[in-house]
Amino acid sequence: MSSNALREDFPLLNSEKTIYLDNAATSQKPSSVIEAERNFYLNQNANPLRGFYPLSLEATKAYEDARRKVASFINAKTDQEIVFTRNTTESMNLVAYSYGLSFIKPGDEIVVSILEHHSNMLPWRMVAEKTGAKLKYLFCDENGLITDRNINEVITKDTKLVAIGQVSNVLGCKNPIEKVIKKVHENGGVAVIDAAQSAPHMPINVQSLDADFLAFSGHKLLGPMGIGVLYVKENILKKMPPFLTGGEMIESVTLEKVTYAEGPQKFEAGTVNAAGAVGLKAAIDYIESIGFDEISKKEDSLTKRAIDKLSAIPHVHILGDKDYKNHHGIVSFTIDNVHPHDVSEILSSEGICVRAGHHCAQPLLKHLGVNSCTRASFMFYNTEEEIDAFVLNLSRIREKMGYGK
């Protein structure tokens, strides 16, 4: 299908005169996702897991069907390895507070990639501070490349946890997580994978990756805001204490003793976001109807077009690799003497939505020698015409700022 045909499925893209290039922050939602949430509230609205009347049982089935869909999507061994959260940030904090504070000890090493979003960096700083563990960083070169030498030097016999994203939210580069996972397992540690930027764009197989933890957010995956996924290997999940306590995460409570629920329910305290889970299932269904081969082909084409055209504009500097294949729909850049916030404001006046700032990755930007940058990020529903309009308006910014052509 052409991008123009696919756009018909996205109401906002059809109703607004907007060129939306901030997909790495959140994606637009197809009608099927919006309708799935609407249908839940119209026809299935009851608390899952809490009632034995037909409406509650139907809500429970819809919620657990969503869990099974997610398990299939990432090839988990069982749906009992899927915990629903609010987003990737909550997933990482759940792992940090439940697993990290319980199993990381003084003298252990925690390794974090310098490329990480703050949500996969700050929880591990907290764990290190509270446990007395040593926090180390896995650095990359200017193109975002983490070498085998980096991995072998930084991950040691004392490394008990490594946190790394599959795809950088700033550079778009894909990290060698397979090598990282293998190395940390050789030393008896675990790997925590942030898949927020990869899940919308490429297939994920947690079994072949041998990931211990993997998280992503529904809102970047065409799904609703407020629903996230945490995958945990079942044997690890069984050992972890609850993150939050309260309703629905218990087996029994007396004045003297509490027995917690088994499986993911132990980590889903209170009333769950059932409508969000149902919407996420619809989003995955939509992605699977297109297929990742088609998605990658479209997004690679758009990324190549953007990089080729941006590279021809004087004073524009693309961060990361110049090869479009190492950007996965993300192009971050700076313009000489023009602040990224000004770039964003000027493009916004032309109806073009991009992101400007440090992108919740300040250590990475400092490592690359910049304070902030502008980021354009693409999805399969974007068009070549949108890329051309973005580049044309970008090429005029320095002139508008008084620097001449």
CB atoms closer than 10 angstroms to residue 250: 16
Cα four-point dihedral sign 57, 60, 62, 65: negative
CA distance 311 to 324: 11
Give 133's DSSP letter: P
* Whether the Cβ atoms of residue 330 and residue 172 lie closer than 8 Å to each other: yes
173, 353, 360, 373: the catalytic one is 360
CA distance 212 to 272: 24
CA distance 38 to 32: 10
Residue 360 annotated among the catalytic residues of the structure: yes
User: Could you tell me the two tokens for 203?
Assistant: 């297939």
Q: What is the side-by-side strand order in the sheet with 159-165? A: 82-85, 228-232, 213-217, 190-194, 159-165, 109-113, 134-138
User: Could you tell me the two tokens for 37?
Assistant: 């949430």
CA 385 vs CA 98, 271, 316, 392: distances in Å: 47, 44, 20, 10
Q: Is 178 exposed, middle or buried (0-12, 13-18, 19+ CB in 10 A)?
A: middle
Tell me the catalytic residues. Answer: 360
